[in-house]
Amino acid sequence: MTDDETPQTADGGTGPGATPLTDGGVEETTIDPWGSSTVADYRKLFEEFGIEAFDEILDEVPGPHYLMRRGVIFGHREYSPVAEALANDDPAAVLSGFMPTGDPHIGHKLVFDEIIWHQQQGADAYGLIADLEAHSARGMSWDEIDEHAESYLLSLLALGFDPEEGTLYRQSQNRELQDLAFELGSNARFAEFGSIYGFDGETSVSHMQSVVTQMADMLYPQLVDEPKPTVIPVGPDQDPHVRLARDLAVRMRFFKVSEAYASFEADAAERELISRAYQTLSEDGADETVRCEDAAAWLETTEVDSELTAARASAVDKLSEAGMEPVRPRVRFFHRHGPDEAFEAMIEAIEGEKRVYEAHIDSFDLDIGEAEALAREVEVDNGGYGFIQPSSIYHRFMTGLTGGKMSSSIPASHISLLDDPEEGYDKVKSATTGGRETAELQRELGGEADDCPVYELYAYLLAQDDDEFAKKVYDECVGGERLCGDCKEQAAVLMKEFLADHQEKREEAKELLENCDIELESDRRGPGGSH
């Protein structure tokens, strides 16, 4: 989940609002956390991988960051509980990691900003250095790792991370994290690493270990005080890690809580249909008890969407078999892991009407939200973690200044946060633009801000919180009032000022970093891995 930012051709700018979600220059959508990911069409991430559109929940976010407002943060997994916690001043956390393989650059700044914004909104904030991953997956030496780790931390502090309120750590120095990784590893299988990451017989054991360490990173904030909604801001290339961490969070739970309607088990689709039958029949029949066989008969003669026909057939079978048993909504607690004492404690803790079976309990007076909270509480009291699945937000990759990919290995394509300000100025002045061939054409047709790396610099960084300024640049560009020469000069000057200011703040941050509880020099040895 480290933001190793392997930026690539993005779909261009957005106007001050959202960008078009397509990219003309890239053909495929591949998601590889250690490779060079390409995202041809961000919409495919919604359809193929189940990432949800961020703009649909923007209204829920208190005082959203400009990266959210401008559509740079375009997707999420279950961010609503985090937004709700921030809005209500309830516990929440944010965590992201950085693989120290090079200098931090403006792509990483997006993630720094996302962490800091959440911290300012009241979340517990964590910035971690993924040094175990850098060593095992990238073969970085410990000396190189030390040097880059310090640089990432200085930029994070210089941009406003509050180390007194937040936590900085290195994977290699965090024993509690490594213990959690070990526990998570007990519930992760080599076969799934193969299918998720393409690991095979050549993959090093340490690389596999670094994966469970990353899973532990994402759950680590929940070890402190209590389980809490936690957001992981990353690029979409890190989504495989997020998905696995969310799965593992569930697998670690002692109890599975679900809604149920009768003594038999039903999956989510079957439950949905049985619920419909129950609602309809209980409304129609006033005080009469709804029996399973009545629900079966109703379902058999009711139209359902084609994707639910198989679920209807199996629900009808189950209901028919249950015959005269009443249909009654309830919540069910399955005991999946953990000691027998936890199950006993769960039975004790459920108030009101309940039925106890060999490995589950049905409660008739709790709603699903109350049941989940109770299950978590009992689990934590009995030696479990009670994890909440981590949430995530995804930001777009930045386009390289030379067009195409922004790559750490092509200096002209990106701006390092350590670049001399004059060099930053020169890089912007030499950047590719979305301008027309001649000034005359530009005045007539307007520029293509949506395909302009320079406009992206304004929207992602240089306009900062000033939406009006970003909009003005966009409108003037597409309206033909703004020509690229002047526009780049303005952006180059702003970039120079930003870099000078940032580097001054990095100097000031050195003292802050010295006072942080983090070892900057590792005494580890070993050549590292490469696969």
Q: Select from 68-76, 183-191, 264-272, 428-436 the region that touches ligand SF4 (CB under 6 A).
A: 428-436
Query: Is residue 157 involved in binding ligand SF4 (CB under 6 A)?
Result: no
Could you identify the residue written with the tokens 């937004």?
A: 83
Q: Is 521 exposed, middle or buried (0-12, 13-18, 19+ CB in 10 A)?
A: exposed
x/- string (CB under 6 A) for ligand SF4, residues 483-522?
-x--xx----------------------------------
Could you tell me whether strands 230-234 and 391-395 are parallel, antiparallel, or unpaired per DSSP bridges? Answer: parallel
For 43, 170, 271, 327, 407, the CA distances from 21, given in Å and listed in that order, are 6, 35, 36, 46, 21
Rounded to a whole number of angstroms, the minimum distance from the CB of residue 435 to ligand SF4 is: 4
Could you identify the residue written with the tokens 């607690």?
A: 333
Closer to ligand SF4 by CB, 16 or 386: give it. Answer: 16
Of positions 83, 452, 463, 492, contacts ligand SF4 by CB under 6 A:
452
Closer to ligand SF4 by CB, 385 or 474: give it. Answer: 474
Residues 293-332 that bind ligand SF4 (CB under 6 A): none
Closer to ligand SF4 by CB, 4 or 451: give it. Answer: 451
Closer to ligand SF4 by CB, 347 or 493: give it. Answer: 493
x/- string (CB under 6 A) for ligand SF4, residues 387-426?
----------------------------------------
Closer to ligand SF4 by CB, 273 or 452: give it. Answer: 452
Q: Select from 59-67, 139-147, 210-218, 445-453 the region that touches ligand SF4 (CB under 6 A).
A: 445-453
Query: Is residue 240 involved in binding ligand SF4 (CB under 6 A)?
Result: no
For 33, 239, 440, 503, the CA distances from 189, given in Å and listed in that order, are 18, 18, 62, 44
Of positions 454, 462, 470, 495, contacts ligand SF4 by CB under 6 A:
454
Closer to ligand SF4 by CB, 12 or 233: give it. Answer: 12
For 19, 436, 450, 529, the CA distances from 445, given in Å and listed in that order, are 19, 8, 14, 53
Q: Is 225 exposed, middle or buried (0-12, 13-18, 19+ CB in 10 A)?
A: exposed
DSSP 458: I
Residues 208-227 that bind ligand SF4 (CB under 6 A): none
Give me the amino acid identity at 88. Answer: N
CA pair distance 7, 46, nearest whole angstrom: 19
Closer to ligand SF4 by CB, 435 or 528: give it. Answer: 435
DSSP for 243-277, written as a single string: HHHHHHHHHT-SEEEEEESSSS---HHHHHHHHHH
Closer to ligand SF4 by CB, 1 or 492: give it. Answer: 492
CA pair distance 49, 368, nearest whole angstrom: 27
Rounded to a whole number of angstroms, the minimum distance from the CB of residue 271 to ligand SF4 is: 52
Query: Is residue 427 involved in binding ligand SF4 (CB under 6 A)?
Result: no
Query: Is residue 470 involved in binding ligand SF4 (CB under 6 A)?
Result: no
Of positions 477, 509, 513, 518, contacts ligand SF4 by CB under 6 A:
477
Name the token pair of 145. Answer: 């790792």
Could you tell me whether strands 29-30 and 38-39 are parallel, antiparallel, or unpaired per DSSP bridges? Answer: antiparallel
Residues lying near ligand SF4 in the complex (CB under 6 A) are found at 433-435, 447-449, 452, 454-455, 477, 482, 484, 487-488
